[in-house]
Chain A
Amino acid sequence: MTKAKVGIVVFPGSNCDHDAYFAFKELLGADTKFLWHKEGSVGDRNIIVLPGGFSYGDYLRCGAIARFSNIMQDVIRFANNGGIVIGICNGFQVLCELELLPGALLRNENLKFICKTVTLKVENNKSIFTYKYGIKEEFDIPIAHGEGNYYCDDETLTELTANNQILFTYRDNPNGSRNNIAGIQNVRRNVMGMMPHPERAADVKLGNTDGFRLLQGLAESII
């Protein structure tokens, strides 16, 4: 039985919160709770998930308004104390707006919302997010975003590379992301963001379980 206590933050406009809940609660058997954005504390949770969706309607910029919501002030404190935070899709955008992760997510280069399965490559498997995968392992996973084009300046890119912060890259870059980046972690290695959806590739019934190991690895990292 995993000791993970998962908190899934729910913003107005989140729409992958229930998928994440199902994956952690039903597939992994983890103690899982929703955390409404107006709550002031993450409580006893030891893994925080910022789910996909369109928080606050993507008004102004994706994630820009969510970052100032009540609960996020405690998520910042939690992350700065070493707590595990994973941002998926819109959650990744929120983490960049929060500056818990470097860079930003721009409009896809082709200006289209892209919803399809892509192939990811594991660039670093020595993280709590990726240790269940092989190095350079390729696996399939769904993406669904209009603003997933990862951007950072040259200096940041050099740092990301030097610190082994790049966890996943796209085999065939769908959105224009710099250096094909699909997912990164922070320097301290407790905060990670990715555009693809591991929670949508976790249940056998959906025909793809390649994302399951990421969530499983996270849950099992709590001991």
Chain B
Amino acid sequence: MYKVKILVTLRKTILDPQGKAVESSLKSLGYDKITDTRIGKYVELLINADSRKEAAEIAENACRKLLANPVMEDYTYEITKGDN
């Protein structure tokens, strides 16, 4: 069993208005050292694969086909063995 933690964010070239709104709120709280804020999605998968390689292949395909839209989003993921 492998756990895959996937982060999906808007591509860097795309303006993230939600991130900007949150950033201006952070600035108003005095966090003036925060220079960029981007909001994304977190997806967690448990994959019953025989190897890390197989789990990675499944996760990669799932991201490409459904979890992220390559027109507007980038994704990254990390894989750990076990289910917690």
Interface residues in chain A, defined as those with a beta carbon under 8 Å from any beta carbon in chain B: 60-61, 64-65, 68, 96-97, 102-104, 106-111, 151-153, 176
**Min distance, Cβ B70 to any Cβ of chain A, angstroms:** 9
Interface residues in chain B, defined as those with a beta carbon under 8 Å from any beta carbon in chain A: 10, 13-15, 17-18, 21, 41, 66-67, 69, 71-72
Contacts of A104 in B (CB 8 A): 69, 71-72
Interface hub of B17, B66, B71 (most chain A Cβ within 10 A): B71
Q: Are A109 and B69 in contact (CB under 8 A)?
A: no
Closest B residue to A65 by beta carbon equals: B66
Assuming A60-B66, A103-B71, A106-B10, what are 20 further A-B pairs, CB within 8 angstroms?
A: A64-B66, A64-B69, A68-B66, A97-B69, A104-B69, A106-B14, A106-B72, A107-B17, A107-B18, A109-B15, A110-B17, A111-B18, A111-B21, A151-B14, A151-B71, A151-B72, A152-B71, A153-B13, A153-B71, A176-B17
Q: How many angstroms between the C-alpha atoms of A162 and B26 in the bound complex?
A: 43
Closest B residue to A111 by beta carbon equals: B17
Contacts of A109 in B (CB 8 A): 15, 17
Contacts of A103 in B (CB 8 A): 71
Contacts of A152 in B (CB 8 A): 71
Contacts of A107 in B (CB 8 A): 17-18
Q: Are B17 and A60 in contact (CB under 8 A)?
A: no
Contacts of B21 in A (CB 8 A): 111
Contacts of B14 in A (CB 8 A): 106, 151
**Min distance, Cβ B29 to any Cβ of chain A, angstroms:** 19
Contacts of B71 in A (CB 8 A): 96, 102-104, 151-153
Q: How many angstroms between the C-alpha atoms of A153 and B72 in the bound complex?
A: 9
Contacts of B15 in A (CB 8 A): 109
Q: How many angstroms between the C-alpha atoms of A111 and B24 in the bound complex?
A: 14
Q: How many angstroms between the C-alpha atoms of A103 and B13 in the bound complex?
A: 14
Q: Are B72 and A60 in contact (CB under 8 A)?
A: no
Option from A61, A108, A111, A153 in Cβ contact (under 8 Å) with B69: A61
Contacts of B13 in A (CB 8 A): 153
Q: How many angstroms between the C-alpha atoms of A151 and B72 in the bound complex?
A: 8
Closest B residue to A102 by beta carbon equals: B71
Closest A residue to B66 by beta carbon equals: A64
Contacts of B72 in A (CB 8 A): 104, 106, 151
**Min distance, Cβ A63 to any Cβ of chain B, angstroms:** 9
**Min distance, Cβ A40 to any Cβ of chain B, angstroms:** 20
Contact (A60, B67) CB under 8 Å given A104-B72, A106-B72? yes
